[in-house]
Amino acid sequence: MTGTVYLVGAGPGAPDLLTLRAARLLAAADIVFHDALVHPDTLALAERAEKIAVGKRCGKHSTAQKFINKRLVDAARGHSIVVRLKGGDPMLFGRAQEEIAALETAGVRYEVVPGVTAALAAARGWLKASRPAPGYRALLRPTPGQSTWAPARRRRSPRHSSPRASRPQRPLRSSRVPRWNPAESLQRLPCSLVSLASSRVRQSS
């Protein structure tokens, strides 16, 4: 018996951003291989499934990709529904192509279930934050008397707060437009056009 491996996107982190199809597959899954950044409430949807962490974290113990590929193939031979749960969308920065290649080589059926990528969901978390964290200022703030959002004014650094009178002033450039000089213009023309332009100047004078 050979089951099907579902490469499922868990979304940007919040369990309520999980797709309906992903939630149904987690509820029916026999075994789930999940990343380290998957929310615990998302994993709780797979009540009857065996959960195996195969995430990669910097500075911590990580699972080699070749080992993950082998575990997926072995699990498909013993279970009907195998879920590979990845953060965000499985095809974006998820190394899903390597797992797909291993499944195709072993002759295992697979299916990709897209998820909400973190790049598209960043605006939701940005606007949801009511106050900036300590040490940071909000990039967007409501304008007084308006319901829309406007860019926050840029504050000057203390080192640039000195009055302008103490700074050296640059000399102002003249705004006068130079008058047209026919002689200088003739010198810039190609040799073939100098004679023609000279004759026109004489006729006009």
Given the residues 35, 66, 86, 128, the one annotated as active site: 35
Helix (H, G, I), strand (E, B) or coil at 81: strand
Closest by Cα among 30, 33, 82 to 53: 33
- Neighbouring C-beta atoms of residue 146, cutoff 10 Å: 8
| Residue that the structure tokens 């004078």 belong to | 205
Q: b/e string for 8-31 if b means 16 or more Cβ within 10 A?
A: bbbbbbebebbbeebeebbeebbb
Per the document, the length of the chain is: 205
Note if 16 is an active site residue: no
Q: Rounded distance, CA 78 to CA 13, Å?
A: 30
Question: What single DSSP character describes residue 187?
Answer: H
Note if 56 is an active site residue: yes
Tell me the sheet residues that pair with 109: 4
Largest CA distance in the chain: 102
- Look at strands 140-142 and 109-113 and give their pairing: unpaired
Given the residues 16, 51, 56, 60, the one annotated as active site: 56
Catalytic residues: 35, 56
